[in-house]
Amino acid sequence: MQTTHSTTLHQLPQVQEQRNDGMPLDLDWVMAVQANTSAIERRAATLPGRRSVKKDYQAAWLCKAISLIDLTTLSGDDSEGRVRRLCAKARQPVRADILEKLGMTGLTTGAVCVYHDMVETAVDALQGSGIPVAAVSTGFPAGLSPFHLRIAEIGESVKAGAEEIDIVISRRHVLTGNWQALYDEMKEMRAACGDAHVKAILATGELGTLRNVARASLVCMMAGADFIKTSTGKEPVNATLPVTLTMIRAIRDYQERTGIKVGYKPAGGISKAKDALVYLSMIKDELGDRWLQPDLFRFGASSLLGDIERQLEHHVTGAYSASWRHAIG
């Protein structure tokens, strides 16, 4: 990660990437995919110590991280009031006095992610902001409701105004090696999304091996996923560096063969500013600067924003504040 403002806050031209329309299932390619777990884990273990940014450069990278957050609430006790407060935070993610001292304007999160029932509330609260609403769908988080109901749920979320749909795959298709079934399922879900972009949640903590993660990533991209996402956030193990390395190398392979850029979203367990910096450095190293834009990279997080705001306050004041001073919703 280079420590210059030009690369840290560099805003690439907002080119409209060609959407991933997918391709026919290539089982020869899928079955040829392997994952050297020990090598992946060794590489991932070196990442936290290989890149370091300090002072103004760190603050700039943390602002970049904020712009890539899908600010999320997925709790059983969600209410309209909570979602509206979350949307207000998405519009103004850092206190105005801190942003003023940083010389930052126009900073928002990348999106707001909610359950279907809260989509209309979020769309209303974000009106005029340009911040999209993402809805978790298809029987989230287990994905075990009847398939026709999962497809119907996608349609209802799109109708309510969601511009992005986070779907969950059937893990059993991966665990039994039924790649055709996974491809067909993903393809139908992609079609149901229409113009809304679809993020395929792999629930990597439940897929058993990194090889399964790599193959599932590839199959979902072949079926038209615009993003591949690690987790629902509800599994015992969510986003990890080895899983991330596996998935973004699948993205790189897919782009090299097809010319199509697919986005990546790590979700669950990323709660510290220092962790966000490690993920950003990995993306920059493996995929390049183009993936450091919200149309190709997102953090699925909520508490992460609070810790980043706390670090930014320390940067401008020299003192750490209590976490309760940076409420999310």
Distance of CA 113 to the CA centre of its chain: 10
Q: Which domain holds residue 252?
A: 20-325
Catalytic-labelled residue, pool 64, 187, 199, 229? 229
For residue 62, what is the domain's CATH number? 3.20.20.70
Q: Is 284 a catalytic residue?
A: no
**Domain presence at residue 9:** no
Region 14-41 average pLDDT: 92
134 touches 118 (CB < 8 A): no
Q: Is 234 a catalytic residue?
A: no
**DSSP string for 279-313:** HHHHHHHHT-GGGSSTTTB-EEESHHHHHHHHHHH
**Domain presence at residue 5:** no
| Residue 13, amino acid | P
**Domain presence at residue 47:** yes
Lowest mean pLDDT among 59-63, 86-90, 157-161, 235-239: 235-239
**Domain presence at residue 253:** yes
Angle value at C-alpha 178, between 35 and 214, nearest 5 degrees = 20
**Domain presence at residue 249:** yes
**Domain presence at residue 10:** no
**Domain presence at residue 95:** yes
Percent of the chain scoring above 70 in pLDDT: 93
Q: Is 274 a catalytic residue?
A: no
Between CA 63 and CA 160 the distance in angstroms is 30
Structure tokens at 246: 């596996």
**Domain presence at residue 318:** yes
Give tens-digit pLDDT for 249-303. 999 999 999 999 999 999 998 999 999 999 999 999 999 999 999 999 999 988 9
Cis peptide preceding 236, ω within 30 of 0? no
Beta bridge partners of 165: 135, 198
Element (H, E) at 115: strand 111-115
- For residue 70, report the phi and psi dihedrals to the nearest 5 degrees: -85, 95
Catalytic-labelled residue, pool 64, 89, 261, 265? 265
pLDDT number for residue 320: 78
Domain count, the chain: 1
Give tens-digit pLDDT for 28-75. 999 999 999 999 999 999 888 766 788 899 999 999 999 999 999 999
Catalytic-labelled residue, pool 166, 226, 275, 307? 166
